[in-house]
């Protein structure tokens, strides 16, 4: 496993790769030591900086996703939410053919190994409320506002 630390507007991000695929993204308290940096981590760093600068709306990285069959379905549905847009937990439940699974969709989002890349921040409450987010609701609001501001500039 390779590890790289980068500074972003939401804090220090730890990137992990597994055999040339991006496997993990998390916000950490302090920078650690980069380990055996694979090219995918350098590309992920570049694309994440572009995303926060508003010049990238879609990530193009090889991903290593782990999880249950249900979680993987949720991740695939979340990947389809367009930049600057949002979907409710109910929308995702319906998209995966399991309309009563809103809570389970929320739990799957919490287990998302690649927040930002798999944009679970775009999943909100049916009434528009910003419900939980692995990096906190303040970060969720920041990222959603960031996308909306860049999306309106380029539209």
pLDDT grade for 1, boundaries at 50, 70 and 90? confident
Average pLDDT, the chain: 93
Residue 153 is predicted with a pLDDT of: 58
Query: Can you tell me the distance from the alpha carbon of 35 to that of 119, in angstroms, rounded to the nearest whole number?
Result: 26
Statement to judge: residues 83 and 150 lie in one domain: yes
**Mean pLDDT, to the nearest integer, of 92-118?**
95
Together in a domain, 117 and 145: yes
Number of independent structural domains in the chain: 2
> How many CB atoms are closer than 10 A to CB 129?
9
Take residue 11 and report the two structure tokens written for it.
Answer: 């804090």
pTM (2 decimals)? 0.92
The pLDDT tens digits of the residues spanning 3-34 come to 999 999 999 999 999 989 999 999 999 999 99
Indicate whether 142 and 81 sit together in one domain: yes
User: Are 133 and 106 part of one and the same domain?
Assistant: yes
Residue 139 confidence class, pLDDT cut points 50, 70, 90? very high
Residue 95 belongs to some domain of the structure: yes
pLDDT band at 155 (very low <50, low <70, confident <90, very high): very low
Residue 61 lies in a domain: no
Beta strand 87-88 with 21-28 is unpaired
> Which of the following is catalytic: 22, 44, 96, 120?
120
CA distance 100 to 64: 28
Identify whether 17 is part of a domain: yes
Instruction: Write the pLDDT tens digit of every residue in 40-56.
Output: 999 999 999 999 999 99
136: containing domain: 69-154
Take residue 53 and report the two structure tokens written for it. 């600068």
Task: Supply 19's token pair.
Answer: 């055999």
149 a catalytic residue? no
Distances (CA, A) of 127 to 33, 87, 119, 130, 146: 42, 11, 19, 9, 21
Q: Is residue 144 domain-shared with residue 77, that is, in the same domain?
A: yes
């Amino acid at each position: 496993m390779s590890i790289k630390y980068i500074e972003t507007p939401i804090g220090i991000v730890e990137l992990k790769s597994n055999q040339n695929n991006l496997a993990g993204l998390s916000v950490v308290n302090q920078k650690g030591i980069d380990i055996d940096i694979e090219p995918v981590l350098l590309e992920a760093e570049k694309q994440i900086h572009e995303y926060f600068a508003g010049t990238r709306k879609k990530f193009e990285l090889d991903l290593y996703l782990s999880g249950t069959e249900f979680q993987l379905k949720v991740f695939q549905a979340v990947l389809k939410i367009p930049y600057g847009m949002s979907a409710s937990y109910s929308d995702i439940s319906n998209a995966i053919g399991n309309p009563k699974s809103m809570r389970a969709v929320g739990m799957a989002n919490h287990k998302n190994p690649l927040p930002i890349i798999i944009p679970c921040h775009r999943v909100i409450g049916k009434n528009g409320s910003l419900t939980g987010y692995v990096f906190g609701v303040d970060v969720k609001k920041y990222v959603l506002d960031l996308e909306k501001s860049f999306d309106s500039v380029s539209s």
